[in-house]
Structure 1
Amino acid sequence: MTQRNQSSSPMTQIDVCVCTYRRPYLAETLRSLAALELPASIKARIVVADNDAAPSARELVASLAPSLPFELIYIHCPSSNISLARNACLDAASGDFLAFVDDDSTVTAKWLAALIETAEATGADAVLGPVQSLYAPSAPDWMRRGDFHSTSPVWVDGQIRTGYSGNVLLRRVSPHVDGRRFNLALGKTGGEDTEYFSQLHADGGQIACAPDAIVLEPVTENRARLQWLAKRRFRSGQTHGRLLTNRQAGRRSVQIGLAAAKAAYCFAGAAALVAVPHKRNRQALRGIMHVGAISGLLGIREIRLYGDEPAGGRAHAA
């Protein structure tokens, strides 16, 4: 970790949190964190929360700790519930800020500095950075062309109203962050981060974007499939529908009708674009998301995405 000399600046303490579940790629994540370029005014600490029933990441973390230029904390929080792991990180954090990055990603050298710079410039309670997907040559051409796995903040009427946990900085002492926890009931279905940031914003918290705080995420073979994307779009829609129900309980029938109309429009668009695979599949996936929203509005239980995957599989995803 390279630090530039800025002795006149006050020290800023940051906990970088990585939730992990049977993921050997965690070693690459930690090595990328070791290569961070930080001003001397920033002191980083790494917290690894192992979400496996057995402490499967303990040996890997212990083997890497002596070679890393920062304090490395290991927490075992068994349950195969990603919300439990995220909350363990929140409880363990003691710095001015805490950041989350996934255990199947690597950070760029200026990642953390860019997040902090935006937080200080905007005063935001949370700062999101983009997650750029890296596709293997074997990935379908339509998928690489459409870049279906990358994630970036969504602006609505000039505001970012929700977020994700794969690349985010939280102002730990903010009243909108302090005491807020991820919903344990969503720890196996996913959507816990969408709910967290949606509620943070609804309660008056500000979410900003740091476009230069880039995280890179390789797309593994099991995720380079339309079925994988469809399942996650459907679950994303379920989460959105449930949040709409919580905010607008008296307009459920209106919201269901609107989601059904949007789904029909998207599927019609997909049929019209059948000869252009990346555009066709984008419209189809949007339609599936709106169908998921109908499911959430109807109160149907969200599909389970996490836990119980074989070693090395993707157990946690936003």
Structure 2
Amino acid sequence: MTPDVAVIIPTLRRPESLERAVRSVLAQIGVSDRLKEIVVVDNDPQASSRELTARLAADASIAIIWRHAPRPGVATARNEGLAATSAPFIAFLDDDEAATSGWLAALLDAQSRTGADAVFGPIRGRVPEQTGWTRPYLERFFGRTGLSETRLIDIPHGCGNSLLVRATALPGVAPFSTAADQSGGEDDILFSGLKARGGRFGWAADAWVDEFAPAHRATLRYALTRAFAYGQGPSQTAAAAHDWPTVARWMIIGAGQTVVWGVAALGLSLTGDPRRADMLDRSARGLGKLFWMKGLEPHFYGERELARLERQASS
């Protein structure tokens, strides 16, 4: 069989985790006849991963392609990775993730069995030990669970740990919206369009990856800010389609969630119950549905992340 799968790994100044991610792909089993290449997309203006990628490529049994996307932005990086390969199947792995040895085989098997245009797998969240009482919540937040069986599903997940059929799921030369470069959500926009075209989504129950949250992200404040941004997604998607009745419906739902889960969080806080983190998460997602407007989106990627890294390097 002609190799037909490329794994794209966008990265921004995470050399240790990038190496872990690449080596986890090189250690895949059962896909030697399918895996065509790994594409590392460096989103750092300084091209900091060039030498590391070259070193990994020198010892690899498959091609490792390095591409530079100097304009920081998650959608820009994904589009650059797609431009670097002609593979008909595209798997995405984030640079803070590490795939289990059967990951890609499980994704491909699920796609073959379901005929889905986009397949997603489960994620184990890993956070530093010093996260205290929030650790169980943060592990769930950075993780992803789903069905125990491989099958078609109705609702898509994020691009991290996914396999996409290029011809149907990734239209055009730059399918990821660069409007989401700084805030994220480029995958939400992509999969909303795919769903509108009648696309199908699948779940690969055995396609496990581990996601390692760095210390600056493994905090309740960061997770709740992300939860707020996730909550904005449904309202923003409806607004982009000028579907104002649906926007209004999501805002009403969001207002109710904000109040109900906020009150629950307050009650649990009085007793020190750690479940209050989950209630705060749900309340934050409700608040996001209510305050979805342009200019209120938190920024996690691109220039904001680069600025944080530069401050860290100079301190």
Work out whether the TM-score is over 0.5.
Answer: yes
TM-score, reference length from structure 1: 0.87
Whole-angstrom distance in 2 between the partners of 1:37 and 1:249: 48
2:60 is equivalent to residue 64 of structure 1: no
2:2 is equivalent to residue 11 of structure 1: yes
Whole-angstrom distance in 1 between the partners of 2:146 and 2:176: 19
CA deviation string 1:24-63 (max 9, x = no partner): 1211111111111124432331001111112111111011
TM-score, reference length from structure 2: 0.88
2:283 is matched with 287
Equivalent pair of 1:22/1:313 in contact (CA under 8 Å): no
Matching residue's letter, 1:286: R
Equivalent pair of 1:83/1:183 in contact (CA under 8 Å): yes
1:160 is matched with 154
Distance 1:281 1:110, change over 3 A: same
Equivalent pair of 1:23/1:312 in contact (CA under 8 Å): no
Whole-angstrom distance in 1 between the partners of 2:310 and 2:205: 30
1:20 is matched with 11
2:261 is equivalent to residue 266 of structure 1: yes
1:148 is matched with 141
Tell me how far 1:161 sits from its aligned partner.
Answer: 2.5
Equivalent pair of 1:129/1:213 in contact (CA under 8 Å): yes
Tell me how far 1:276 sits from its aligned partner.
Answer: 5.3
Whole-angstrom distance in 2 between the partners of 1:252 and 1:29: 38
Distance 1:293 1:105, change over 3 A: same
Distance 1:78 1:256, change over 3 A: same
Whole-angstrom distance in 2 between the partners of 1:56 and 1:173: 32
Tell me how far 1:278 sits from its aligned partner.
Answer: 3.0
Matching residue's letter, 2:176: F
1:42 is matched with 34
Equivalent pair of 1:17/1:89 in contact (CA under 8 Å): yes
2:218 is equivalent to residue 224 of structure 1: yes
Query: For 1:173, what is the secondary structure of its paired residue?
Result: helix
Whole-angstrom distance in 2 between the partners of 1:288 and 1:94: 40
Equivalent pair of 2:235/2:247 in contact (CA under 8 Å): no
Matching residue's letter, 2:106: A
Superposed, 1:36-185 pairs within 5 Å as: 36-144=28-136, 147-152=140-145, 159-174=153-168, 176-179=169-172, 181-185=175-179
Distance 1:76 1:137, change over 3 A: same
Tell me how far 1:148 sits from its aligned partner.
Answer: 2.5
Whole-angstrom distance in 1 between the partners of 2:45 and 2:204: 35
Equivalent pair of 1:11/1:43 in contact (CA under 8 Å): no
Greater Cα shift, 114-123 or 138-147: 138-147
Distance 1:63 1:251, change over 3 A: closer
Tell me how far 1:311 sits from its aligned partner.
Answer: 4.0
Whole-angstrom distance in 2 between the partners of 1:185 and 1:267: 31
- Structure 2, unmatched stretches of 5+, are none
Query: For 1:38, what is the secondary structure of its paired residue?
Result: coil
Distance 1:16 1:39, change over 3 A: closer
Equivalent pair of 2:146/2:205 in contact (CA under 8 Å): no
Greater Cα shift, 194-203 or 59-68: 194-203
Quick one: percent identity of the two aligned structures?
30
Whole-angstrom distance in 2 between the partners of 1:112 and 1:92: 20
Matching residue's letter, 2:208: I
Query: For 2:35, what is the secondary structure of its paired residue?
Result: strand
CA deviation string 1:256-307 (max 9, x = no partner): 22210121111112123223533211011111111111111x4444222112
Greater Cα shift, 229-238 or 71-80: 229-238
Matching residue's letter, 1:151: R
Distance 1:210 1:313, change over 3 A: farther
Distance 1:40 1:17, change over 3 A: closer
Q: How many residues align?
A: 300
CA deviation string 1:105-133 (max 9, x = no partner): 11100000000001111111010011211
RMSD of equivalent CA atoms: 2.2
2:202 to 201, 204, 208: 208
Distance 1:143 1:162, change over 3 A: same
Greater Cα shift, 269-278 or 58-67: 269-278
